[in-house]
Amino acid sequence: MKNITLTLLFLFSWQLNAEMGTFESTNTNFKNLFNNHRIGGPAVAPWVGSWWAYKNNGIDFGTSENPQVTTKVTPPSVKFDKFHNIRKKNTSNWEKDNHTCDKLDEKQKKSCQGWWGHCNAWAAAAIKEDEPRKSFVKKGIKFTVADQKAIITELYMENYSLFVGNTDKSIETENEWIFDKNHKKSKKIINRRNFTRYDGFWDVTPKAFFLILTNYMGLKKVGLVIDRFTGDQVWNQPLAGYRLLPIDKDSIKKPEVKNGKKVYPVLLKANIYWAEDGVWEHEISDPFDYEKDTNDNFYLGDYEVNHHYKGRSLAFYLFFDSPVRVTSDGKLVKKAGRIVGDGVWFHQTDEGKKIYVQNKINFDDTHPDFIWFPTKVNDQSGRTYRNPEVNSERVSGILKLGREPTPPPAPEDKKFSCTYELTGFFGNRRKVLSSESSVSYGKACDEAAAKCRGLIRGWQRCRRSR
Amino acid sequence: MFHKLCKLLVIGLVVTGCASHTPYQDSLDKAFAELEDQASRTLAGVTQGIDIDSLTKFKMVVFPKAIDHHVKMRKYQSIDKNLLSEMDEQERDKYIDSKTVYHTPLTFNFNVLKKGLCMNLVKTKKYATHLFFGGEDFDSKIKCMVLEVKKEVPHFFGKRIMDLKKDDILRVRVYLDEYLRPYGHSVDYAVKQGREPYRTENIKTDKRENSSSGLSMYPIDLPNFKNSSVVNKAEDSVPLPRNLFLIFSIKSKVKTPICKKAKLFEHKDILGNIVESSWCDKQNWPTTIENNRFFAVLK
């Protein structure tokens, strides 16, 4: 009688726990984030565009819609001036005076001609605005795709943004100092609290990288921009998606022990994908699906996914406070502890450094130097980084700004990842005998539930553990 | 025998002396240090937590910081990093403070939607408290609350001006206990431009972490008083940035002087950014919160 009462009480509390509800989203739970957001990306892929280089005077650079024609045509800045009837101190002249390499000293000119331009603005615009895909005529002026992209890009030269990661762009990367925190170049302070140049090179930390990708792009489906040049240059690229690669058994390392405490290292690999900006001004983006167009392979060095989107593979260690267990294919985490510490980039370790050097991978093409989230255009900035004639009101007068709403995913498209446990009684205690995990679309856990129920014998039961 | 021991000792000393910490080892050490912190479980100094019963409605003014890592032309970057190494820590702080540019301030309205014993909130469904507080083993006396945070919308001749774009945050509901342990947050995002239909994301947080605003301006970066990694610094005056515009702006929006002495706390958010908060005596909410994205002050 006592046993039956205890059993009933146990079953009741077990059922109550199951009804408490589970979250699909958690912001730091590694198992949950990996299983639910192993692959992720923004709701709409960012579009490709020109970075409107300063060597060509920014948006005061006109190209024909016919790629065979190389003679210059009316640039976007002149069309903008004509539309708004801006005469003397106009957009075009301002671009020639400010978004140019001509007025810089020799040292800066060389750098400027290499990579200065509007990439920060284009990256933000590519995330926040719909891609112009057709020319139109307004007030008798034809605005081509290039013109529209140029105007929107210029608008975003001043935007509100939220950052992760510190940086010092005043020094070139050299293996000498980036791997030696005690080198005189490494020890230079670049921020508060004795934050050094060495610290600035090696952040964004792996933990922050993992949490930002999964929380923002995976969970919230919002766009992010990275500076893909780890060193002294700034190459802003809008991210189009990411993949956390399956965790193979060799990546789960033996625990490290210190003072009776254990830390469990796991080597993770991730692919990130971004939209390109070294394209023809009139280019319209090829479609990009971060799930269907990418794979789980790890590549050393940047690679092309297609003509408009590129990828990069990164590896990093994260440390956990308890063991990590994965399914045989490495695509699901069965068990994981809490992430402790910030992790370490694989290419920062002795082993990783050796592989990267042997394969001649430039350390400037590794982890993002910083990651940022553009929010909206800033029309109140006091500085003249953006062309002062270009503002939201004027741009809205020419073309429609903003993204069309994307419909929420149909319930059938919602992905579930869950585990069913087969439990049985041993004496008075219920114990887990085995578990089945699955990732399914539509109805939650059908596959895992069916597999589990197929194993039931006698008083055994299946319960959903997550 | 004695000579052998000496030899071993010398070899040991040489090996130890030569052993240098690799980046992998350094990162491991940080991980172990965090484990130690978790194990020691010393409280940050405020043993009684906050008085949830006395919290109702209040406001915070947020001054967003302008960060310009992504700007290529150095003359447009506010801080010249070449100068920083030549300064001592105080000079550096002063310089960075004076050069930090702030955007137009935003006001956030806080409203306690629900509060009470955590054990009771677990049983109710309004504001999904059963979801966020469910499954926890609460002490019978601990209190919890649901705190809603909304950005104040400017008015123009009595009409609200809403410049809403898709994926803008409309409001955040934060689920906390009296020690400011975060149990989750519920975020309403705009679906369309300029309209109010919204979608809600419920996100469970680890109550061992500190509440974090992530990549947003919502001033909900709070020290978790049960998290032993929160540093309790010596009492001092409320730290205000040295930016003159900011000081003037704060004086026009907030009652000053704020308070003579405040408790100061420092912690790291989930992304590893440092957050500093100050608490005036008898106040149940931080007087100021500062991180790399904004400076916020209680109105």
CA proximity to B64, closest of B298, B297, B293: B293
Residue B99: predicted pLDDT: 80
Q: Which residues contact residue A38 at a Cβ distance below 8 angstroms, ignoring those fewer than 6 apart? A: A243, A244, A331
> Does the pLDDT value for residue A248 go beyond 90?
yes
Q: Does residue A464 register a pLDDT over 50?
A: yes
Structure-token match 């255009």, residue found: A377
Cis peptide before B257 (omega within 30 of 0): yes
Is-contact A141 A361, C-beta < 8 A? no
Residues of B in contact with A181 (CB under 8 A): 23, 26
Residue A416 has pLDDT above 90, yes or no: no
Q: Residues A370, A226: contact at Cβ < 8 Å?
A: yes
More confident residue, B192 or A251: A251
Selection from A194, A204, A179, A173 nearest residue A343 by Cα? A204
A340 touches chain B (CB under 8 A): yes
Name the nearest CA neighbour of B165 among A316, A12, A75, A130: A130
- Residue whose C-alpha is closest to residue A128's, from A47, A192, A72: A47
Q: Tell me if B64 and A160 make a contact (CB, 8 A cut-off).
A: yes
Q: pLDDT tens digits for A163-199?
A: 888 888 888 888 889 999 999 999 888 887 778 899 9
Token pair of B128, please? Answer: 């999904």
Tens digit of pLDDT for each residue in A72-84?
899 999 999 999 9
Angle at A257 between CA A259 and CA B209, to 5 degrees: 85
What is the least distance, in Å, from the CA of B99 to any CA of chain A?
Answer: 12
Structural tokens at position A203:
């952040």
DSSP assignment string, B42-60: ---S-TT---GGG--EEEE
Q: What is the pLDDT of residue A166?
A: 84
Binding-face residues of B in 209-238 toward A, CB within 8 A: 209, 214-217
Task: Write out the DSSP string of A298-325.
Answer: --SS-EESSSSEEEEEEEEEEEESS--E
Alpha carbon distance A111, A117 (integer Å) = 11
Residue B231: phi and psi, rounded to 5, are: -95, 130
Which value, in Å, is the radius of gyration of the alpha carbons in chain A?
A: 27
What is residue A428's predicted lDDT score, i.e. its pLDDT?
A: 63
Between CA B182 and CA B188, with CA B184 as vertex, the angle to 5 degrees is: 135
Residues A122-157: tens digit of each pLDDT? 999 999 999 999 999 999 999 999 999 999 999 999
CA dist B121 and B115 (Å) reads 8
Domain ranges, ordered by start, for chain B: 52-66+102-298
Q: Is the pLDDT of residue A267 over 90?
A: yes
User: Residue B296 forms beta bridges with which residues?
Assistant: B62, B289
Q: Which amino acid is at A432?
A: V
Q: DSSP for A139-203, please give it.
A: TTEEE-HHHHHHHHHHHTTSEEEEEE----TTS---HHHHT-TTSTTTT-B-SSTT-BHHHHHHP
Beta-carbon separation of A164 and B271 below 8 A: yes
Between the ranges A189-198, A259-268, A407-416, where is the mean pLDDT highest?
Answer: A259-268
Bridge partners of B175?
B146, B184
Question: Residue B197 and residue B194: Cα distance in Å, rounded?
Answer: 9
What is the residue type of A95? E
B155 contacts chain A (CB < 8 A) = no
Question: Taking CB atoms and an 8 Å limit, are B22 and A350 in contact across chains?
Answer: yes
Task: Say what the pLDDT of residue A429 is.
Answer: 66
Q: Please judge whether A23 and B203 are an interchain contact, meaning their C-beta atoms are less than 8 angstroms apart.
A: yes
DSSP symbol at A214? I
Can you give the pLDDT at residue B154? 67
Given a cut of 60, is residue A410 above it in pLDDT?
no
Q: Which residue has the higher pLDDT, B74 or A400?
A: A400
Q: How far is the C-alpha of A294 from the C-alpha of A274, rounded, in Å?
A: 12
d(CA A94, CA A453): 72
Q: Are strands B169-177 and B182-190 parallel, antiparallel or unpaired?
A: antiparallel
- Residues of chain B found within 8 Å of residue A115, distances taken between Cβ atoms: 72
Residues of B in contact with A207 (CB under 8 A): 272
**Confidence band of A455 (pLDDT split at 50, 70, 90):** confident
Q: Is B196 on the interface with A (CB under 8 A)?
A: no
Q: Do B270 and A28 touch (CB under 8 A)?
A: yes
Helix (H) / strand (E) containing A124? helix A119-128
Higher pLDDT, A200 or A437: A200
Contact (CB, 8 A) for A49 and A339? no
Q: Would the pLDDT of A408 be above 90?
A: no
Q: Is B32 helix (H, G, I), strand (E, B) or coil?
A: helix
Per-residue pLDDT of chain B (299 residues; tens, 9 = 90+): 656 555 555 454 444 444 458 999 999 999 999 888 776 654 444 555 789 999 989 999 999 988 777 776 666 666 777 777 778 888 888 888 878 888 888 999 999 999 999 999 999 988 999 999 998 889 899 999 999 999 987 665 555 555 666 677 889 999 999 999 999 999 888 776 655 677 788 888 988 899 999 888 999 999 998 887 888 887 788 888 877 777 888 888 776 667 888 889 999 888 888 899 999 888 889 999 999 899 999 98
pLDDT above 70 for A426 = no
- Name the residue among A61, A36, A34 with its Cα closest to residue A50: A61
A52 CB neighbour count, 10 Å cutoff: 28
Cβ atoms of residues A78 and A61 within 8 Å:
no
CB atoms within 10 A of CB A113: 15
Cβ contact B199:B191 at 8 Å: yes
| Residue with tokens 């003249």, as numbered in its chain | A384
Are A164 and B70 contacting, i.e. CB atoms less than 8 angstroms apart?
no
Residue type for position A394: R
* Tokens 């205690």, located at residue: A429
Give pLDDT, residue B122.
92
| Residue B36 φ then ψ, to 5° | -60, -45
Closest Cβ opposite residue B201 in set A167, A220, A342 = A220
What's the CA gap between B74 and A71, in Å, rounded? 33
CA A271 from centre of chain: 10
- Which 6-25 residues of chain B touch chain A by CB within 8 A? 22-24
- Quick count: other Cβ atoms within 10 Å of Cβ B82? 13
Rounded Cα distance between A290 and A46, Å, is 11
The single-letter DSSP state of residue A254 is: P
Distance CA A190, CA B92 (A): 9
Q: CB-based contact (8 Å) between A356 and chain B? A: no
Query: Which candidate, B193, B168, B186, B213, places its Cα nearest to that of B64?
Result: B213
CB contact under 8 A, A405 and B193: yes
Which residue is it, tokens 């006001």? B107
CA angle B62, B143, B229 (to 5 degrees): 60
Mean pLDDT estimate for chain A: 86
Q: By C-alpha distance, which of B261, B247, B298, B199 is closest to B102?
A: B247
- Nearest CB to B292: which of A163, A205, A256? A163
B132: number of Cβ within 10 Å: 28
| Residue B167 in contact with partner chain A when CB distance is under 8 A | yes
Most distant CA atoms of chain B, gap in Å = 95
Reduce the DSSP state of residue B167 to 3 states and report it: coil
State how far the Cα of A432 lies from the Cα of A334, in Å rounded to an integer: 14
